[in-house]
Amino acid sequence: MALFKASGWTLAYGFRLPEPPVIKVVEPTQVTTQVVTRSKGRRHTQRIKETLPARGHFDTHFASSQLHVQTHAASMIELSDGNVRAFWFSGSREGAADVTINSAIFDVTQKQWGAEQVVTGRVQTQRDLHRYIAKVGNPVPMRAPDGSLWLFYVTVSLGGWAGSSISMLTSNDEGATWGAPRRLVTSPFINISTLVKAPPFLYADGTVGVPVYHEFVSKFAEALRLDKTGKVIDKQRLAAGGQGTLQPVVLVRNELDALALTRYAGADSAPRVMSLATTDGGRHWSKPQKSNMKNPNAALSALVLPDGKLLAVLNDQEHGRDSLSLQLSADGGITWRELRRLEEMGGLSQQLADESACLEVVEDMLQNSDARLQALAAPQLAEYVASAKPLVRSASACHFEFSYPYLMQAHNGDIHLLYTWNRVLIKHAVFDALWLQQRLSQESSQ
């Protein structure tokens, strides 16, 4: 259902498919070993060449580097040189006046993250928009039709997140610098309660689709349509109010078919990820249906693989966010199965009542998440643990959170994942197509 349409526009429907990745080939490894034998008192050395099968890789790092702050809502985009630029918000707490939108670059050759930098914040946005801004959040980048970078982010002037609007920045140098923000007009009346979380997509005519959601009074998924300059020309409601569908992720499968997966914020006692579908290029969307994936009112992320399979990362549980699951669907989103449990701390909260035991677990988690931390001197590692302590330790228990995943497939086929790690840091995982293929083979043989 279209809520409003800019005058002078005749909307065309249908989707533009992204360029397929060029999957890099991982060659088998040639190794030579020396075998020493003795015969009749003489020593013989023989060189034996063998070929080891190619192995996929799955690596993890921390993308953020600031300590003693809260970080959340990461997103990313591939740059023109193949590196990855990530964004998130960071501050003393979510919604605080000191929260800023930060960014860092992952060097895919060196396999390490650079220092994080501030992109914008409440004060700068307020100055440039000439209106009061109480808080900022949820940055989402995209490659604009002209090749520049757009960065959407949420701004709030009054109240909580339900009073949000979306602002947009533009960069012509791959995110090194940004122009002044402009506020998107998503309603001809009260321009509030539009939030962004998931990656945008393209329509066949080159206009941009931005999955958004509404939280004021009722909660439901929507899609904005922007022209090539970033002006809103249409807003479409994907689901009716009261159905609790938030933070839609739109998965374009072909020129006419797409699936939207949403967080569930309704009252059902058995909460599940909700799905909606279109078969006419986005003109109409089906009523929300329950998937078989659990959802504790938490964000999820998903993408379409080149072979048509779907990949998703989410908290596959009905309550809490203390586990994170990588799942795959081979039937268009009808059924899902787990490929890997990325994080699992469920049930440990009460077992870690002792503070020292809790912090020892946190230290192990930190080192297992990033090889660089394994080489830190004890005082430096202790600083990481101290940064995590206020967020994971409270009320004589340990509390863990792994949330707000964001998936992206690079042009070389590598799949990148960012997510909130205990609100302390942003964690990054990257795996190649071979790892995924080998994982699928293992699953099918079991």
CATH of the domain at 256: 2.120.10.10
CB-side exposure of 166: number of CA atoms within 13 Å?
27
Dig out the tokens for 204 from the structure: 């066949």
**Domain range for residue 6?**
2-22+60-346+400-445
Residues of the chain short of pLDDT 50, as ranges, are: none
Query: Which of these, 328, 324, 338, lies nearest to 307 by C-alpha position?
Result: 328
d(CA 222, CA 41): 82
Tell me, yes or no, whether 377 lies in a domain.
no
> Do 420 and 437 touch, CB atoms closer than 8 A?
no
Q: Does residue 67 sit within a domain?
A: yes
Q: Which residues lie closer than 8 Å to 411 by C-beta, 6 or more apart?
A: 19, 21, 22, 78, 82
Q: Is the dihedral of CA 192, 198, 204, 206 positive or negative?
A: positive
Six-digit token pair at 103? 């960014």
Residue 386 lies inside a defined structural domain of this protein:
no
Supply the pTM of this predicted model: 0.93
Summarised one tens digit per residue, pLDDT across range 302-355 is: 999 999 999 999 999 999 999 999 999 999 999 999 999 999 998 777 678 789
Q: Which two tokens stand for residue 279?
A: 């078969």
Nearest to 245 by CA among 227, 230, 223, 228: 223
* Burial of residue 385, with CB atoms counted within 10 A of its CB: 0-12 exposed, 13-18 middle, 19 or more buried: middle
Q: State how far the Cα of 213 lies from the Cα of 196, in Å rounded to an integer.
A: 7
Report the sign of the C-alpha dihedral through residues 424, 210, 277, 188, in that order: positive
Q: Dihedrals φ, ψ of 130, to 5°?
A: 60, 40
Pairing of the two strands 425-431 and 2-5:
unpaired
Number of domains in the chain: 1
In 244-391 the beta strands, taken as DSSP E runs, fall at: 245-252, 258-264, 272-278, 289-294, 301-304, 310-314, 323-329, 337-344
CA distances from 250 to 102, 222, 264 (A): 25, 11, 15
Rounded Cα gap, residues 210 and 235, in angstroms: 9
pLDDT for residue 23:
85
Rounded distance, CA 418 to CA 344, Å?
16
Number of neighbours of residue 297 by Cβ within 10 angstroms: 15
| Residues with Cβ within 8 Å of residue 9, at least 6 apart in sequence | 227, 233, 234
pLDDT digits (tens, 9 = 90+) for 409-423: 999 999 999 999 999
Query: Is residue 343 within 8 Å of residue 324, measured between CB atoms?
Result: yes
Q: What is the pLDDT, as a whole number, of residue 351?
A: 77
Q: How far apart are CA 293 and CA 328, in angstroms?
A: 11
Q: What is the predicted pLDDT for the residue at 328?
A: 98
